[in-house]
Structure 1
């Protein structure tokens, strides 16, 4: 009887320690490195993210083979509009967004996979503890996200979706909470109605 009670208590303590989805910052700015193994390209970019209003802004340095271009890209998901300015030619293209807004934190209902230490464990200031979660969005797109703990700041975000042709990995670094530039989500001046 005592052994059964002990096993039940240990199982309950272990189950209670399984991390649950955490709340990631809803607004941040950072640098982002994005790779797409299917399209064979990499992007280095400055990135502003606003989950509350479903919008992103990035300055993307795209390398595809030997070609390199820099774009200013504003995506306003609530109005389903994308503004893309080639910073070399100053040409603006305004299009409809072809995929849904993806939160970059841990979506509710995510499954905890594992906890890990990034860096040199045991050396003060040389490591962070991270947790990795997985799941699927409503449209079936599969994701895996790694966040810091306890603050739930996103580090890596992977998505796979054949339906929306999304197959990429984001790595976030130099992250700062909030949006410093109040005009970050205004359409670029190159995209005036007369030019489109």
Structure 2
């Protein structure tokens, strides 16, 4: 009986613990969408994320100012390089990447807004327990709002302010822990001898979504 009481108290204590900032799994595959407040930009993107090797693959399609586009990027942060890949004619553009790798995580200085269930808590399997966090962007240009699962710290959505678009909202779905196709995180054979462009300013990560044709 004492053991049961002790276990019940321990369980209650665990459930009452305040959520803490967290990091997403080091290897993730999934999809996200991006929409902007001023309706200039909409993106549907399949991604591979490797925090161990500091690599990302973004295969996106969408519309910018009502004009459709398709883009395929491979970001190699350790090499400071970004490949734009064109499978149709088997060519690449290699550019300098100036950003440092930023893992998917909730910063330690983030503020917890609250915890909620997406869906329903009426029965098992009907809802998803998530935590909502807010804080200042790393460049101090605005605020962000991030929602992650309580268990696993899987990204659900992120919103942040930009000067050009107002609020941008990113929704994640079909996330899988792990890399389904590791070859997606290496330059294709036809890209390996591509020379990096040196006649332009190095790119940053956000420019992939903003500097569109």
Q: TM-score scaled by structure 1?
A: 0.76
Partner of 2:107: 107
- Counterparts of 2:100 and 2:193 in 1: how far apart (Å)? 25
Change (3 A) 1:53 1:167: farther
Q: 2:23·2:103 contact (CA, 8 Å) conserved in 1? A: no
2:160 maps to what in 1?
159
Are the equivalent residues in 2 in contact too, given 1:80–1:97 (CA < 8 A)? Answer: yes
Alignment RMSD, CA only?
3.0
**1:176 matches 2:176:** yes
Equivalent in the alignment of 1:143: 144
**TM-score w.r.t. structure 2 length?**
0.71
Structure 1 residue 92: Cα displacement? 2.4
Please give the alpha-carbon distance, in whole angstroms, between the structure 1 residues aligned to 2:160 and 2:53: 21
Specify the SS of the correspondent of 1:184: helix
Number of residue pairs matched by the alignment: 181
In 2, distance between residues paired with 1:88 and 1:62? 18
State the alpha-carbon separation in 2 of the partners of residues 166 and 76 from structure 1.
Answer: 29
Judge conservation of contact 1:133–1:146 (CA < 8 Å) in 2: yes
Q: 1:125-144 alignment to 2 at 5 Å?
A: 125-136=125-136, 138-140=138-140, 142-144=143-145
5+ residue gaps, structure 2, are 1-12, 197-213
* 3-state SS in 1 of match to 2:151: coil
Q: Post-superposition shift, 1:157?
A: 2.0
Check whether the contact 1:69–1:88 (CA below 8 A) recurs between aligned residues.
no
Q: Post-superposition shift, 1:32?
A: 1.2
**3-state SS of paired residue (1:175):** strand
Classify the secondary structure of the residue corresponding to 2:183: coil
Structure 1 position 138, deviation (Å) = 4.2
- Classify 1:144/1:66 alpha carbon distance in 2 versus 1 (closer, same or farther; 3 Å): closer
Instruction: Tell me which moved more, 43-52 or 32-41.
Output: 32-41
Residue 58 of structure 1 corresponds to 58
Deviation at 1:67, TM superposition (A): 2.9
